[in-house]
Structures are given as C-alpha cells and as structure tokens.
Amino acid sequence: MSLIRLDKMLANAGVGSRTQVKYHIKKGLVTVNGTPASKPELKVDPDKDTICINGEPINTSLAEYFILNKPAGYVSATKDNIHSDVVSLIDSTRKDLFPVGRLDKDTEGLLLITNDGALAHNMLSPKKHVEKTYYAVIDGIVTDDDVTVFAQGVNIGDEDLNVALPAKLTILNEPLSSYYNGVDSEKDKNVSYITVTITEGKFHQVKRMFHAIGKEVLYLKRISFGPLTLPEDLPISKSRKLTVNELKLLESYIKKD
C-alpha cells in the first residue's frame, strides 16, 4: 500500500477537517504505533500502522464498500446544494465516498458506494461491458418483437452513434413481488413488467430505449450491477457494507478479460 499524509488520511476517515486534524496533531493527541505524531505531513501506511486519537484507534482502512438501495428523489452525487444526495444515506464518517456510476433521480435500486477509485474505473470502463439489470414497469404491452429489437440494438437518437448495444429484454408474467412495482396493476391493465440487461451507460438509456419503440417507463429499479445483486431484505434508503463474498466476487469480476 502506498503511503499517505497523516492529516489527509485522518480527514478522509472523517475525523475532522484538515485544520482540525492538524490541531489534534499539534496538541499531541494523535499517535502512530504508540508514538505521538510529530507533524501533519508524516507519511503513514493505513493498512499497517495503528493510528489513535486520545488513545482510541481510528479506522484507517483506505477502501470501504457499501451497497445502497437508492430511493427515488436522490441524486447520484457526493454533494448537491439543491437535491438530496445518495452519499448522505450512507452510515459512515468518511468524507471521500462516492457512487460508482449514476442512477436517475427518479430511479431506485442498487448503487455501489465506495472510495476505491481504481475499482470504480474498472466497473465503469466501456471496455468491460459491465452488465446492469433493471426491473421496470412499462406503459404499454411489450411484445416478442420488442425483445428482438432490443437484442439487435435500439436506435435511441438521430445518429448511428446513438444505437445502443444489444440488450436482453425479458417479459415477466407478473410483477416481481420482492420489489415495489410503482403501479396499481388492478387499476391499469395496459402495463408490462420486464427486466432488461444492458452493458453500457448512456444518459437515460433504458427510458430512451423504450421511448424509441413507442413505450414509456413508469417505474425503474436497478436490481444488479456486475456480480452484485440487490438484496431483497435491504429496505429502500438503507445501505450495508459489502460482505467478504461480495468483495471477492467484485475482485474476480474486474480481473476478467
């Protein structure tokens, strides 16, 4: 692990601002492996060194990973002065967390939140073709012909560059009971329930794909992202840290060709 400035590491860990951290160090309240830190720019190894403030160990692990069941109404950003941001839903004192990719403000579902830039780069790289599966309620009856069109690639714009890559569209016989469907099916029979798997992330892609075939998305929820699946027991707006198994799956996934 590469070394990092002590003050930066503590600020990232949520101890306080860089100014506050420097004050703690100056007062001799911060120790590194039992020895009072001499200066803010002291280089430390977060994975090996034991950092304490007032004798209390600090979680100095550089990488943290959370899975969030994003609610509608939140933007996929670290901070937003107008709308609520997804990072505010994470129970962590870290200041360097960010969402891996984006979901539209009105879209629900799985978001990976981390501070691991290398992993985020791999998961979002167009070369990786990371699969993202969505559950949706569609205004209109989705047909087998639509399935074929999606499999061939839907033109979602006026130029050839706006032809989406082939996507797997599956028509469901009924709503997924494990996910809120957003529509009272007893009142509206002219709706379809589907899942769709895409391998890219164009702006409003799923909505634009259905709009291109004359239908509209009424409700949209991401239920998987790469090797991760949204836990059915994770309530909306809630998050949890990734399990050891999930971390291993992620590590193997980003290493694949």
Q: Which CATH number characterizes residue 237's domain?
A: 3.30.70.580
Q: What residue ranges in 80-143 does DSSP mark as E strands?
A: 84-85, 98-99, 108-114, 132-139
Mean of the per-residue pLDDT values for the chain? 88
Same domain as 240, residue 119? yes
User: In the chain, how many H helices and how many E strands?
Assistant: 6, 17
Together in a domain, 185 and 219: yes
Residues 181, 4: Cα–Cα separation, whole Å = 46
Query: Which residues, 6+ apart, have CB-to-CB distance to 128 below 8 Å?
Result: 122, 254
Q: Can you tell me the mean pLDDT for 6-11?
A: 85
Residues labelled as active-site residues: 104
What pLDDT sits at residue 166? 96
148 with 204, same domain: the answer is yes
Q: Who contacts 110 (Cβ-Cβ below 8 Å, separation ≥6)?
A: 67, 68, 69, 70, 222, 223, 224, 225, 228, 229, 230
Q: What is the pTM of this model?
A: 0.78
Half-sphere exposure of 57 (CA within 13 A, CB side): 9
pLDDT digits (tens, 9 = 90+) for 64-100: 899 999 999 999 987 665 668 999 999 887 778 899 9
Closest alpha carbon to 136 in 101, 180, 105, 167: 180
| Domain end point (choices 57, 81, 101) | 57
CATH of the domain at 171: 3.30.70.1560
Give me the CATH number covering residue 17. 3.10.290.10
Whether residue 115 sits in one domain with residue 84:
yes
For residues 72 and 47, membership in a common domain is answered with: no
Q: pLDDT of 101-152, one tens digit each? A: 999 999 999 999 998 888 898 899 888 899 999 999 999 999 999 999 999 9
Let me know whether 176 and 239 are in one domain: no
Kindly state whether residues 146 and 221 are assigned to the same domain. yes
Min mean pLDDT across 15-24, 67-76, 124-133, 173-182 is at 173-182
User: Based on the domain organization, do 233 and 122 belong to the same domain?
Assistant: yes
Contact 40, 25 (CB under 8 A): yes
Q: Which helix (H) or strand (E) holds 248?
A: helix 244-255
pLDDT surpassing 60 at residue 1? no
Q: What's the CA angle centered on 114, arms 23 and 15, to 5 degrees?
A: 15
Q: How many distinct structural domains can be found in the chain?
A: 3
95 and 119 both lie in a single domain? yes
Owning domain of residue 14: 4-57
Provide, rounded to the nearest whole percent, the portion of the chain with pLDDT above 70.
Answer: 89
